[in-house]
Structures are given as C-alpha cells and as structure tokens.
Amino acid sequence: MAYGLLKGKKGIISGALDENSIAWKVALKAKEEGAIFTLTNAPIAMRMGEINKLAEACEAEIIPADATSVEDIENLYAKSMDILGGKVDFVLHSIGMSPNVRKGRAYGDLNYDFYKQSVDISAMSFHKFLQTAEKMNAINEWGSVVALTYMAAQRTFSFYSDMADAKAMLESIARSYGYRYGKLKNVRVNTVSQSPTKTRAGGGIAGFDSFYEFAEKMSPLGNASADACADYVLTLFSDLTKMVTMQNLFHDGGYSMTGVSAELLEMIKPAE
C-alpha cells in the first residue's frame, strides 16, 4: 500500500545491480510513493543490463558514475538536476565492495591496494557524494541522505575483514557530514544498518549462508528483508523524520540488542 510519502520529491538512487539489490527495492517503492529520481551505478555494472528493466519500471534515467570519481559524481548531480528540473531531496548511497573479501583474503593477510579500494568504494565515496553535493548546492533544504551499513562497524564478525573498517568510516562520515550539512542546509545524513540480505554483495562473503541462518535465529523478528529495508529508507527520505540526523539506525529484527536467543541455546546444548 502506498501512502504518497515522497510525493513531489526528487532523488538519486545508487547501487541497483539486480532485482535482489536493496537499492532496487528502494527505487520501486520510491516510485510507488510518488518520487521522481535518477538511477546510477558503476559503468562496469551497467554491462549486465539489468538496471534497464528497473529504469523502465520507474520511468527513470540512468546516469553511470563510478562512486570513486569526483568527476563522475559531479556529472551525476548536474545531469540529475537537469533531468529532474531542480535540486534533489534525497540521495541513497547503496554501494559496497571489498576486493579482499571477494578474493577470500584473511584479515591478517590483506592486500593493501585492495584495502584502499575497499575504503574508497565503500566509505570515501560517501564523503565524495556529500562534499560534491554541498559544493554544487545540489540538495534542497531539509533533504535526506542515507547510506547502507552493517553492524560489523561496532562488533567483530570474523568473515567481514576490511569491510568492517570501511563501514566504521562510512558511519563516522554520516556523523561528521550530518553535523556540517545540518548546520548549513538542514540536510540530514544517516546510515541504516541492515540484517544480512541475500544480494550480490552479501553473497560475496564466505560463509554467508550459515551466518544468515544464525542471524535469523538470533533476531526476535527474524532477519529484515530487503523490502522491509526499503520501507525504512523511504521513511527517512520522507518529511516524517525531519529531525533524525547523524544516526546509525539498526534495521535488523532486533539482532543488535539480543545477547543470545532461546533457539541458539537449544542448538548448542551439551549432551546430557
């Protein structure tokens, strides 16, 4: 059911790779809620062509941009403002990639060129999105910027490797830029810390399926789906959350506040 939450709002949605992507669900729901927006992804991701289906469904134009390139991001904002007829009200950063994780490098055996790429793609790109928007005055007063993150920024998960460091930086950027952009233009900046979700990025992590089941059993509400995540992100783009900024918001079915669940205790019960 749509509520018209984003009626009249303009935005930019990054990171829709295929129909499992969290950003894909955000785009479909943002359209349902009355927003107009552009879609963006890395030029290399465009080759799969899947995003064209989403663009058609959302009547949205696609502007390729490598999130590590300031020039690409400048072009993204300039073209978006041109296409949408003015500044934007919301921006979704749904971008993450670690070559170290992809290649199964242990945390004690990181390749430092890969490490730089992980940080550049998954965290510094968020600063680039924000700084470029500020310099181009591309976001309307009371606009909202959201990035997706994971709880490995606060607690150690053995398989998350250098992505944990990138996510910690991403969340720090949300606080630091949230302060700055709040003072300047009342623009709010938040991160949403999502449950493990079966997407391309999620599936790139060794042992993901077992961890998905573990988190499902730990969370009183179960793992939050990508669809539910999209619903939550839309509330943050809407005018109903105007005073929420600089926050890392857990969207995880209660996982982050659970010490241990009855189901897990039952599973590891020693033999009588």
Ligand X SMILES: NC(=O)c1ccc[n+]([C@@H]2O[C@H](COP(=O)([O-])OP(=O)(O)OC[C@H]3O[C@@H](n4cnc5c(N)ncnc54)[C@H](O)[C@@H]3O)[C@@H](O)[C@H]2O)c1
Indicate which residues carry an active-site annotation. Answer: 150, 160
Which residues lie across from 249 on neighbouring strands? 192
By beta-carbon proximity to ligand X, the closer residue of 143 and 202 is 202
d(CA 251, CA 266): 26
By beta-carbon proximity to ligand X, the closer residue of 68 and 247 is 68
Q: Which residues are CB-neighbours of 97 under 8 A, at least 6 positions away? A: 117, 118, 121, 122, 201, 204
129 binds ligand X per the rule CB under 6 A: no
User: At its nearest, how many Å lie between ligand X and the CB of residue 271?
Assistant: 34
Please check if 36 is assigned to a binding site.
no
Of 257, 242, 114, whose CA–CA distance to 193 is shortest? Answer: 257
d(CA 16, CA 94): 8
Which region, judged by CB under 6 A, interacts with ligand X, from 20-28, 153-161, 176-184, 261-269?
20-28
d(CA 9, CA 237): 9
x/- map, 150-179, ligand X, by CB under 6 A:
x-----------------------------
Please check if 22 is assigned to a binding site.
yes
Sites for ligand X among residues 231-270 (CB under 6 A): none
Q: What are phi and psi of 192, to 5 degrees?
A: -115, 125
Residues near ligand X (CB under 6 A) are: 15, 17, 21-23, 41-42, 45, 66-68, 94-97, 121, 148-150, 194, 196-197, 199-202
Residues annotated as binding site for NAD(+)? 15, 21-22, 95, 167
